[in-house]
Amino acid sequence: MRTKLIIGFLFVFLNGILYSQDIRLIDYASYPDHSKNIEKVGECIMKKALHGDTLTVELLSRNMKYSVKPTIEFTYRYDTLTIFYKLPYKNRDSIYFDANKNKYDTLHIEEMNYSVSVNGFGPKAKREVFRFTGFKKLPVSIWISKDCYPECPIKDIEYRIYKGNKINRINANGFKQGLWISFYDTGEIHEKKRYNNGVLLVGKTYDKNGKSLHYVGEFEGGVGSLQVDSLSNK
């Protein structure tokens, strides 16, 4: 019985290795993505589709720039696709005295031989598109190195219920959606704004007695948003 279990395990293990050797990465592209707010959505799988034996995977990732082009490697084991970005490292050995062992020893140090940068004024997210050939079915999970990427949200990420209605919604793309209300510390409505996928359509502020004070707008700038007060009837 034990022999059969061992043989069965080896068959599954070797079959996974042979199958992964039949898979090839045939294309990779990366470009800035503005469709989602990665600070709210997080890194995630935007698309996973199989046409014939060609697998297309689209990932939303942080838009980090490397000084050198990484080499892309992957493994496929037990329905899990793991993608690695191989970047150059420099190995250096250092001799030190180990007081516990009372002798000199060698410390192996692996240093990054590249730099990473983020453009603070540019898009924070990028879309990475991978195309593989040789797949027989969709992978169950996708990992980037040691991080498992979840599916991107398809429902509101956050919201609040006010008088039976949803307000202050963060939609599946990570942007403000619908009616947003802010309140004074004493509970009265201070401001109402209406958004469509992060774009302000209209906004108005009120005093504590409910009287409208003025209209407000938002205009995207390089760093954040600038609020403009029209003082229409203040």
Q: Which of 52, 198, 58, 207 is nearest to 137 (CA)?
A: 52
Least confident of 21-30, 115-124, 191-200: 115-124
Domain segments of the chain as ranges? 24-86+117-149, 158-229
Give me the residue label for tokens 């990570």: 174
Q: Residue 38 pLDDT > 90, yes or no?
A: yes
The order of strands in the sheet holding 80-86 is: 71-77, 80-86, 141-144, 147-149
What's the mean pLDDT in 38-51? 96
Model confidence pLDDT, tens digit, residues 96-137:
888 888 888 887 777 666 677 777 777 899 999 999 999 999
Helices (H), the chain: 2-21, 38-41
61/232: higher pLDDT: 61
- Confidence (pTM): 0.73
Percent of the chain residues topping a pLDDT of 90: 56
